[in-house]
Amino acid sequence: MRVHVAFTPAETVRAPVAVVVDVVRATSTIVQALASGYRRVLCCAEIDEARELRERLGEGVLAGERRAAAIPGFELGNSPREFVEPRGDTVILTTTNGTQAIVAAAASADAVLVGSLLNLEAVAAAARAQGGDVEVVCAGLEARFTIEDAYCAGRIAALIGGTRSDPAEAAVRLAASFATAEEGLRASTNPEHAKLEKDIAWCARESVLAVAPRLARLDGTAAEIVA
C-alpha cells in the first residue's frame, strides 16, 4: 500500500482511497455529527445548493459557514460543539473549504473517508482496511496550504503505515515536530482562528470517537456521508 498526502486539493493524484481532512472544522464537525446520532451529512459545495437540496428533500438541518461566519438563515454553524445533540436525521452542510474538498474527492476516488483527530485511529484503520493506495487530501484554506491540515494528515499517514510518498513523509515529520495536537492546530497563521479558540481545543482531542465516516453516494452534486 502506498500512502500520499496532498497538501491542497489541487495536488491530488487520485488514489483509489481518499481521506479528506479539514480538521478546523468541517471534517471534525462531520465526525461529531455522525457519532452523536445524525444518520447522514449531505455535503454541498455552495450555499444555494444546500438551500435547494433542503427544499427538494423537505427535511434536513441547514448548517455551515463562510470564512468562519454563520450563514444567514441556517440553523447551525460549523462548530462540532453544536452537533452533540442531534436536531434531526440529516445535516445539510456547506463550508468554505471542507465540503468542497469532499465533493471533489467523491468525483474521483473509489472510496472517500472523512478524517480528523477526533476519529484518528478509526479512520486510519478504515483506510488500511480498503486495501488500496491511500491519499490523504488536505482541504487547506481557499486552496492554500495550512499547517493544521498538514499536521492532521501526517498523524493519519503515520497510523496507516505502508510506503510513503515524499509529501506523506514530510507531513509525518511535520506532525512529529509538535509536542501536542493542540500545538499543531494552533501553529496556523489563519487569522480566523482567533475566533475559534474553543473549537480548536475540541478538534485537538485524539481518537475520542469511533466512527469512520464514508461516502455513501452522490445525491445530485451533494456527497452523502454516513457512519
Q: What is the DSSP string of 61-129?
A: EEEEEETTEEPTT-SB-S-GGGGSS--SSEEEEE-SSHHHHHHHHHTT-SEEEEE-STTHHHHHHHHHH
Give the C-alpha separation, 183 to 180, whole Å. Answer: 5
Q: What spatial distance separates the first Cα and last Cα of the chain, rounded to whole Å?
A: 24
CB 150 within 8 A of CB 23: no
CB 3 within 8 A of CB 140: no
Least confident range of 112-116, 168-172, 211-215, 217-221? 217-221
Question: Residue 193: is its pLDDT beyond 90?
Answer: no
Give the C-alpha separation, 94 to 41, whole Å. Answer: 10
The predicted pLDDT at position 194 comes to 82
CB 9 within 8 A of CB 140: yes
pLDDT digits (tens, 9 = 90+) for 8-56: 999 999 899 999 999 999 999 999 999 999 999 999 999 999 999 999 9
Question: Residue 159: is its pLDDT beyond 90?
Answer: yes
Bridge partners, 135 (sequence order): 4, 18
Q: What is the helix (H) or strand (E) element at residue 134, kind and residue range?
A: strand 134-138
Give the C-alpha separation, 74 to 48, whole Å. Answer: 12
Q: pTM surpassing 0.95?
A: yes
Phi-psi sector, 220: left (phi>0), alpha (psi -120 to 50), beta: left
CB 113 within 8 A of CB 213: yes
Give the C-alpha separation, 100 to 59, whole Å. Answer: 22
Mean pLDDT, rounded, for 72-98:
98
